[in-house]
């Protein structure tokens, strides 16, 4: 069941999503060679808590940390570790969730670590662009499938692959709500887009095979062929004034 939010509820969602956006912005300054994934997580958790929020991901289905920190071939749900040190040429995705005012915010970015390869740079550019195109489709579409199709058409047209096992989702009082938001599919499919819907749209893109596997820790998802993967995510709301991106600072 898709839960439509009243204007007052969307206003209440702005704060947790702003906290998430603030985390993603300051991470551009601290994601550098030599930092551990544990320290990245610590910085994120501290900011959420100091802002009066609660980390959405911590203890969610047993996940141990406030942020998912995923390096190179790790698509999503990487567990922060004191011994995982970022090195020159890595790419790292940080996925952040915050809970405040009874609602969740959720977004992710993939960051370059120092100077990265041309292939990695292009992967980041294409994945970010696919998210922008998905949001643009949301502004003009009538069915959810048009969002999904816009991502697949662009990403595959650029020679990359769409991860299929993980998809976007509705969000609100619950971190994951209906509807699912795949990053692939046909235009004329899915529920009608309506005022009051709040969605986390999150393209996940790989250089090689789209298939993934879960490591022994039960959380970390990696590309099956260990090719590089990137992940960009924003939470949006369908309001009386159109689509609003809640996880980008104005």
> What's the pLDDT score for residue 70?
98
Whether the pLDDT of residue 194 is over 80: the answer is yes
At residue 90 the predicted structure's pLDDT band, cuts being 50, 70 and 90, is: very high
Domain range 7-241, CATH architecture:
Alpha-Beta Complex (3.90)
Which ranges constitute the DSSP H helices of the chain? 7-30, 37-50, 118-140, 144-157
The three state secondary structure string of 47-104 is HHHHCCCEECCCCHHHCCCCEEEEECCEEECCCCCCCCECCCCCEEEEEEEEEECCEE
Q: Does the pLDDT at position 250 exceed 80?
A: no
Q: Which tens digits make up the pLDDT trace of 30-43?
A: 999 999 999 999 99
The pTM of this model reads 0.96
The stretch 121-146 carries a mean pLDDT of 97
Q: What percent of the chain has pLDDT over 90?
A: 99
* 29: confidence class by pLDDT, cuts 50, 70, 90: very high
Please compute the mean of the pLDDT values over residues 139-161 and round it to a whole number.
Answer: 97
Task: Report the SS3 class of residue 205.
Answer: strand
Average pLDDT score over residue span 55-62: 97
Q: How confident is the model at residue 125 (pLDDT cuts 50, 70, 90)?
A: very high
pLDDT at 146: 97
Residue 69 has pLDDT above 90, yes or no: yes
Average pLDDT (3-23) is: 98
Q: How confident is the model at residue 151 (pLDDT cuts 50, 70, 90)?
A: very high
């Amino acid at each position: 069941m898709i839960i439509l939010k009243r204007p007052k509820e969307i206003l209440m969602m702005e704060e947790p999503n702003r906290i998430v956006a603030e985390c993603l912005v300051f991470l551009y300054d601290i994601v550098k060679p030599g930092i551990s994934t544990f320290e990245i997580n610590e910085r994120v958790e501290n900011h959420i808590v100091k802002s009066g929020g609660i980390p959405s991901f911590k203890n969610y289905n047993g996940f141990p940390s406030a942020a998912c920190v995923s390096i190179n071939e790790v698509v999503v749900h990487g567990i922060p570790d004191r011994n995982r040190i970022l090195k020159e040429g890595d790419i790292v995705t940080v996925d952040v969730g915050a809970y405040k005012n009874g609602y969740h915010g959720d977004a992710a970015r993939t960051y370059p670590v120092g100077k990265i390869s041309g292939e990695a740079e292009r992967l980041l550019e294409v994945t970010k662009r696919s998210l922008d195109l998905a949001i643009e489709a949301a502004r003009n579409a009538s069915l959810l499938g048009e969002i999904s199709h816009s991502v697949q058409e662009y990403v595959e047209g650029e020679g990359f692959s769409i991860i299929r096992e993980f998809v976007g989702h509705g969000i609100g009082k619950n971190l994951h709500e209906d509807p699912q938001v795949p990053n692939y599919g046909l235009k004329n499919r899915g529920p009608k887009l309506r005022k009051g819907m709040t969605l986390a749209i999150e393209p996940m893109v790989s250089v090689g095979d789209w298939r993934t596997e879960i490591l022994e820790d039960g959380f970390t998802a990696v590309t099956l062929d260990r090719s590089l993967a990137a992940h960009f995510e924003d939470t949006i709301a369908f309001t009386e004034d159109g689509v609003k991106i809640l996880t980008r600072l104005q």
